[in-house]
Amino acid sequence: MPSAAPAHATPHDVAFQDEVRAVIPRMSRLEMCVQCGTCGGSCPSAADMDHTPRMVFAMVRAGQRQEVLRSNTPWMCVSCYFCAVRCPQEVHIPDVMYGLKAMATREGLVPDSVAPDFSKTFVDNIHRYGRSYEVGLIARHYLRHYLTRLPGMAPMGIGMVAKGRMGFRPPKAIKGRDDLRKILARAEELEAGS
């Protein structure tokens, strides 16, 4: 990916920014951020973020690797794309957040394990069945992280089951599950090689 570093940045600064850009498969335009703050002002979960997206992009540019990857900011992204459609520089902000999550997970620098565990369980089910498995996902997740929520959740869970919206049987695996696994394994190799 060609580097389009801002003229004033030192080589040290943009090394981390380049690293982040390289994790995102499609051009992210991260280097185009002008620090206007439209993203944070548009973000429904900014109030619960350690740093607003704008600040994270400044930290990326400043090479604050640890602080960025330990920040809860990408994990609080709800993927609503308000920032994406409002950004005057057309930075693909949710894509940057996904890239940061992938980096933080790979390096074990996540702020806490709740969100990464949820993603991991979801993805494990895809590898197992080719489809998502709501009950398995929720049950595992709540037992591990939200035991205290379970009593309050019980009536809803019973309602979902009684109304036929949740079944305890896992989904039947898709026919092409083994092929799907081969495809994803190949994608992983290609990713590592990039």
Partner 1 sequence: MSQYVYYPGCSMDASARAYADSLEAISGPLELQLIEIDDWNCCGATEYMGISPTRAYTLVSRNLALAEAQKNGSRTLVAACSACFMNLAKTENYLREDKTLAAKVNAALEAGGLHYTPGSIDVRHLLEIIFDDIGIAAVHDHVTRPLAGLRVAPYLGCLVTRPDLDRRWRSREHPQAFDRLLRTLGAQVVDFPPRTDCCGGHMTQISPATGFELIRRLVDAADKAGADMLVTTCPMCQMNVDAYQAEMNHYFKTSYHMPILFFTQLIGLAFGIPAQKLGIGTEIVSSRAALAKIGIEIPVVEAQQPVGAGAAGPPRRPRAKQTGLPMPAMPGESGEAPR
Q: Hey, which residues between 97 and 156 contact partner 1 (CB under 8 A)?
A: 97-99, 101-102, 105, 114-116, 118-120, 122-123, 125-126, 130-132, 134-135, 138, 141, 146, 148-156
SS3 108: coil
Kindly indicate which of the ranges 2-10, 11-19, 62-70, 177-185 contains the residues binding partner 1, using the contact rule CB under 8 A: 177-185
Binding status of residue 180 toward partner 1 by CB under 8 A: yes
Smaller CB separation from partner 1, 34 or 144: 144
Residue selected from 31, 33, 40, 57 as contacting partner 1 according to rule CB under 8 A: 40
Chain centroid offset of residue 146 CA:
21
In this complex, which beta carbon is closest to partner 1, that of residue 7 or of residue 147? Answer: 147
Determine the straight-line distance between the first and last CA of the chain, rounded to whole angstroms: 10
Q: Is 20 in the site for partner 1 (CB under 8 A)?
A: no
3-class SS of residue 6 = coil
Q: Applying CB under 8 A, which of residues 2, 7, 163, 168 lies at the interface with partner 1? A: 163
4 binds partner 1 (CB under 8 A): no
Size of residue set near partner 1 by CB under 8 A = 87
41 binds partner 1 (CB under 8 A): yes
Q: For residue 14, count CB atoms less than 10 angstroms from its CB and return exposed for 0-12, middle for 13-18, buried for 19 or more.
A: buried
In the complex, least distance from residue 173 CB atom to partner 1, rounded to whole angstroms: 10
DSSP, residue by residue, 120-182: HHHHHHHHHHSS--HHHHHHHHHHHH-GGGHHHHHHHHHHHHHTTS--SSPPPPPTTHHHHHH
Cβ atoms 79, 45 nearer than 8 A: no
| Residue 22 contacts partner 1 per CB under 8 A | no
